[in-house]
Structure 1
């Protein structure tokens, strides 16, 4: 049995906790919020044994085996470092941190304490995405000629809310644009060059962004994200021998359509959960077998992802304090 702690009790923590109930031999043992009332309410909802109003107290709890960090982006590094220094395995929500320097400090600390650390980018562990990656790597589709991927939704304008608040790491790129970027890097690798343009709003965060990846193979990748409008949120790969289409919302869909050598197939990956079960089970397996790094979401890949996000932000002139 793996006894989990959760730090930061917002919307995504609720989704994570809901899916945890469907994972064998894993329980939420402790939760922490800056508000004792919020911790108690969350704990009552999910039958949690310990409810703290201090992140440090949770990290110090000897009964906790693993900690899921779901605090705002800007806190990911400091909260991860806190937990690692108390020898706790850490699953940290994406983006791993605010920049490469922070990510490197987290990886260094995990190696120093010989503790498991992984970025929680749930798409990497989902059946539909594993299938797409394996299909492309089989070589049957030939070269990928283009990839189009978008992720947008119309968010209420709230200068103090997480999405619009620069002090909380707000903006479309780090919150949802990371998914199209991840998709391209995971399926095609690091691009030869990147171009990007963004719309910086009144609160000095990127409200919209358009990104192009260029590869030596002449593969063209077009990525976009926005918190100003709704878009299909799909991903389409056009290859020499066919097409791979990830239905909406591509990062968590259970539907993929392939067209290979003229034969169209609808693939169904239906699951009875929100989708976090797959990363929870993967992380739990790593912990049980004494691993300190994931082969699917490796330190090397997380570094490449944050480096790419850093480069994109530099291109559009978006800087966080």
Structure 2
């Protein structure tokens, strides 16, 4: 039997609800505490899901010796301070993507994890789902030959809410950080976590000042090119494609895909569609808990260096747009 890991969930919004469902199904997980800015929200979330403890103070939660790991699902602008505090308290941290507003903040987090010898990872949950694990296997075995191009979109249409997280500059809103990080992460995974040699991008800014849609082209040297698009007011076909010299890989639905399709230029087509249990976030949670049990400070699947490359990439994209958040000015 695996050692039980006791979790606290910080934040009670939609993404934390999704993670709760996955974590509840993960072997060896015990959800001990809920944390919110108000006692009312913390109590409501804890009561809804049968969680033992509710806190309206993140600092007070960190003083609880029963807590082994903290999941942070609050707005991006709050991540740095919460992550650093938790790591200094020797609590393992899984922080929602993007981990920070910019690379400078992320470097502080990585430094805190290193100094305190405590586990820290960006919550790129898609990396751990069976289809993406199978894709990495196919790529490592060279099934599609030399990879030349990656193309992926993640765009959805939501109603304009100037105070909502997606449209609020004060909360790090916009399509790039919220949605664009997924296709950028796929390209990074395929091309070995390397920093792009060249980046070109375009964005449309809506009435609240956030990027409502964006398109990015990245060059990884030679023929290796990636295209990533994101949107928060435009419903897109959210597929992922990986093209090689001998075939291609298709991820229908991309972020939420339950299957991966391998196509070897007419010689062989194979659809990998394993049984899923829970909502997919459980695979990430189980991988994190395995790392904690093994005394690791970072994940080999989503290492600090790659999270930093992704953050630096998004910093460069926003530099091209001359776009900074209020907290950066």
> Separation in 2 of the partners of 1:4 and 1:71?
16
> Separation in 2 of the partners of 1:280 and 1:128?
16
> Separation in 2 of the partners of 1:192 and 1:81?
31
Equivalent position of 2:251 in the other structure? 246
Aligned-pair CA distance for 1:261: 4.1
Equivalent position of 1:287 in the other structure? 292
> Separation in 2 of the partners of 1:89 and 1:251?
25
Match of 2:63 among 60, 67, 74: 60
- Mapping of 1:14-163 within 5 angstroms? 14-163=17-166
Aligned length: 320
> Separation in 1 of the partners of 2:157 and 2:236?
9
Q: Are 2:198 and 1:197 aligned?
A: no
CA contact (8 A) 2:241 2:250 kept: yes
Structure 1 window deviating more from structure 2 (176-185 vs 140-149): it is 140-149
SS in 2 for 1:150: strand
Match of 1:300 among 287, 305, 313: 305
SS in 1 for 2:167: coil
Measured against aligned partners, the alpha-carbon deviations of 1:181-217 in whole angstroms (never above 9, x if no partner) come to: 0010111133221100111122111111010012322
Runs of 4+ in 1 over 6 A off after TM superposition: none
Match of 1:260 among 259, 264, 270: 264
Measured against aligned partners, the alpha-carbon deviations of 1:233-266 in whole angstroms (never above 9, x if no partner) come to: 0011221111110011x12311111111421111
| TM-score using structure 1 length | 0.97
Aligned-pair CA distance for 1:37: 1.4
CA contact (8 A) 1:208 1:224 kept: yes
Runs (5+) with no aligned partner, structure 2: none
> Separation in 2 of the partners of 1:238 and 1:111?
37
Equivalent position of 1:270 in the other structure? 275
CA contact (8 A) 1:141 1:260 kept: yes
Equivalent position of 2:214 in the other structure? 209
Runs (5+) with no aligned partner, structure 1: none
Equivalent position of 1:178 in the other structure? 181
Aligned-pair CA distance for 1:221: 1.6
> Separation in 2 of the partners of 1:11 and 1:60?
26
